[in-house]
Amino acid sequence: KILILDFGSQVTQLIARRIREAHVFCEIHPYDVSEDFVRNYGAKGIILSGGPNSVIDGDTPRAPQAVFEAGVPVLGICYGMQTMAEQLGGACENGTIREFGYAEIRAHGHTELLRDIEDFVTPEGHGMLKVWMSHGDKVQKMPEGFKLMASTPACPVAGMADETRRFYGVQFHPEVTHTVQGKALLERFVVGICGARQDWVMGDYITEAVENIRKQVGDEEVILGLSGGVDSSVAAALIHRAIGDQLTCVFVDHGLLRLDEGQKVMDMFARNLGVKVIQVDASDAFLGKLAGVTDPERKRKIIGAEFVEVFQAESGKLKSAKWLAQGTIYPDVIESAGKGKNAAHAIKSHHNVGGLPDTLHLKLLEPLTELFKDEVRELGVALGLPREMVYRHPFPGPGLGVRILGEVKSEYADLLRRADDIFISELRDTVASAHDAAAGLCTAEDIGKSWYDLTSQAFAVFLPVKSVGVMGDGRTYDYVVALRAVQTTDFMTAHWAHLPHELLGTVSNRIINEVRGINRVVYDISGKPPATIEWE
Ligand code: XMP
């Protein structure tokens, strides 16, 4: 196993993620663990993360001395390299030029760490790496025994190596994807240099997490707000695996869910997995509070507040519960950490980020905070949740409340649910063809995948305007539904999906024929920005 000592960098979790991707077991611990902890840990190798401090300030975090005496390979990243330099007799200085972002660095010599790892070769024959840098300080004098491994004009020591002791330092961040060869470099370190075994799988994570949850909660009881979304579902399945009936889930149905969703959630958790779930049908309360409200942000606030109220009332009845479990995942942690003055301007308030108020006086149990979305999905599958559920598109907390434009009415919600279900089933049932690839709608590798999997998020939107149509011999005067499908990796920017016209045609025909009350279907061809993914 690999020990990662965390000096407080925002991207330390990414180091762990890259190592897990290489199927090697690793753990993150704070930098100030004891000397004995390091000695007895049994690490095959140690990684020192980056951090926000400056080693020049003297009284800043240092690695336990045992790190350098354990006889195992050590990799220092950014601050980790600087403290390594300082602790082994080298020196650092304040850089006059700060480097932040993309950089091309030259790899020197033939260190084991960078052997055959390069992005391109300059005309002069220097091997170059495309990396991501973020630092002010730099190593000015390497400790004895070290040789230069990499450099940039602004940072003469961008990498250093003592190959006898197998100590390596890099000023750039191999853990971020912008460092093209970062994954290869970390894999070289943990596998090639440390000799760690590549036998770690998600199943091992379950064993470990189950043990931790049991240790944490003992014989106390836990409540969890189940939404039917991926994160809370995986958290529920994991916690249930650990403590069985000590877990009670509260599933608040606000009446703005997708077709048959409440039923599906209950089937999967209560019936299939045997989880204790209290289903609260609160649709009347929600719709009552939303009557006459048309402003999107007010609708969100009302739904959010009502949700908290219903959830609290229900949890209040579970007097013996001591813990509140949440499916917070690593990107949520980062997102809320960024809520300082530099936080991105709030375009829409997302009610389920930020969580519930602490008036319940419960301790927090968050077993997924180390994982990224795709890892949470993998974990869900390993826990036996159906693939179809785990790989679902995201669904906003306020649900159809922000997909019915203007005032929310139960009549509109019923129409929208059915239209949306038709759109989604057609996307699931239609696979990309060679013809689609030839038309440039998808790549050759995408042939055979469903259009549901080829889009990041797709749904129908209800427009409360009526237009004229003709059906049979009669004139109709009915509502409009808009279809939205986007492709994106981070949901911050998105392209509208170029869906095959036949698919759109089928969806439109089916909606108009099957959902009485809708006589017109339109397709949204706006990107984000300037539009947003949701219509409200
Ligand atoms: P927008 O519409 O802002 O959406 O481009 C980006 C992503 O966020 C989701 N979204 C929400 N999720 N509560 C949520 O939990 C909300 O109020 C909310 N508004 C938007 C949206 O579905 C998309 O995935």
DSSP per residue, 293-325: ---HHHHHHHHHHHHHHHHHHHHHH-TTEEEEE
Please check the confidence at residue 264 and state whether its pLDDT lies above 80: yes
- 63-77 average pLDDT score: 97
pLDDT band for position 359 (50/70/90)? Answer: low
- Across the range 509-527, mean pLDDT stands at 97
**Mutational test site, ligand 1, from 299, 300, 328, 350, max ligand atoms within 8 Å of CB:** 350
DSSP assignment of 234-263, as one string? HHHHHHHHHHGGGEEEEEEE-S-S-TTHHH
- What mean pLDDT is predicted for residues 251-260? 96
pLDDT band at 505 (very low <50, low <70, confident <90, very high): very high
Ligand 1 atom with minimal separation from the 304 CA: 17
Ligand 1 neighbour 300 (Cβ under 6 A)? yes
pLDDT over 90 (residue 353): no
Q: Which domains does the chain have, with CATH numbers?
A: 2-193 (3.40.50.880), 202-390 (3.40.50.620), 408-523 (3.30.300.10)
pLDDT band for position 341 (cuts 50, 70, 90): very low
pLDDT at 415 over 50: yes
Write out pLDDT tens, residues 155-176.
Answer: 899 999 999 999 999 999 999 9
| Ligand 1 center to 351 CA (angstroms) | 10
Confidence at 357, pLDDT banded by 50, 70, 90: low
Q: How confident is the model at residue 61 (pLDDT cuts 50, 70, 90)?
A: very high
Is 495 an annotated catalytic residue? no
Give the global pTM.
0.83
pLDDT in tens, 384-403: 999 999 999 999 999 999 99
pLDDT band at 473; cut points 50, 70, 90: confident
Give CA 483 to chain center in angstroms.
26
Look at residue 344 and tell me whether its pLDDT is greater than 50.
Answer: no
Specify whether the CB–CB gap between 469 and 509 falls below 8 A.
no
Q: Identify the residue whose C-alpha is closest to ligand 1 atom 17.
A: 350
**Nearest residue by C-alpha to atom 10 in ligand 1:** 396
Identify whether 61 is preceded by a cis peptide bond (ω within 30 of 0). Answer: no
| Ligand 1 atom index nearest CA of 395 | 22
Give phi and psi for 140, each to the nearest 5: -105, -35
Q: What is the model's pLDDT at position 472?
A: 85
Choosing from 86, 175, 306, 375, the catalytic residue is 175
- What is residue 355's predicted lDDT score, i.e. its pLDDT? 53
> Cβ-count burial of 498 within 10 angstroms (0-12 exposed, 13-18 middle, 19+ buried)?
middle
C-beta separation of 101 from 132 below 8 A = yes
pLDDT the model gives residue 360: 65
pLDDT of 50 reads 93
Decide: helix, strand or coil at residue 278. strand
Q: How far is the CA of 410 from the centre of ligand 1 (A)?
A: 22
Ligand 1 pocket residue status of 524, Cβ below 6 Å: no
Ligand 1 site-directed mutation target among 348, 349, 405, 488, most atoms within 8 Å of CB: 348
Asked if residue 521 has its Cβ within 6 Å of ligand 1, the reply is no
Indicate the average pLDDT of the chain: 92
Report the nearest atom of ligand 1 relative to the CA of 397: 15
Per-residue confidence (pLDDT) for residue 349, from 0 to 100: 39
As a whole number, mean pLDDT of residues 38-52 equals 95
CA of 89 to the centre of ligand 1 (A): 51
Which atom of ligand 1 is the closest one to the Cα of 393?
Answer: 24
Using a 10 angstrom Cβ sphere, with 0-12 exposed, 13-18 middle and 19 or more buried, the burial of residue 237 is buried
Min mean pLDDT across 258-272, 336-350, 377-391, 498-512 is at 336-350
Please return the burial class of 105, using the count of CB atoms within 10 Å of its CB with bins 0-12, 13-18 and 19+: buried
Locus of tokens 């299939």: 272
Whether residue 534 has its Cβ less than 6 Å from ligand 1: yes
What's the CA gap between 84 and 143, in Å, rounded? 9
Ligand 1 proximity of 398 Cβ (cutoff 6 Å): yes
Q: Which of 173, 240, 254, 351 is catalytic?
A: 173
What is the band of 213 on the pLDDT scale with cuts at 50, 70, 90? very high
In which element (H, E) is residue 280 found? Answer: strand 276-281
Q: Whose CA is nearest to atom 22 of ligand 1?
A: 396
Measure 305 CA to ligand 1 centroid, in angstroms.
Answer: 17
Is 21 annotated in the active site?
no
Query: Is 366 assigned a catalytic role?
Result: no
pLDDT at 203: 87
Helices (H) and strands (E) in the chain, counts: 17, 19
Percent of the chain with pLDDT over 70: 95
The band of 326, judged by pLDDT with boundaries at 50, 70 and 90, is: very high
Q: Which atom of ligand 1 sits closest to the CA of residue 457?
A: 24
pLDDT band at 336 (very low <50, low <70, confident <90, very high): low
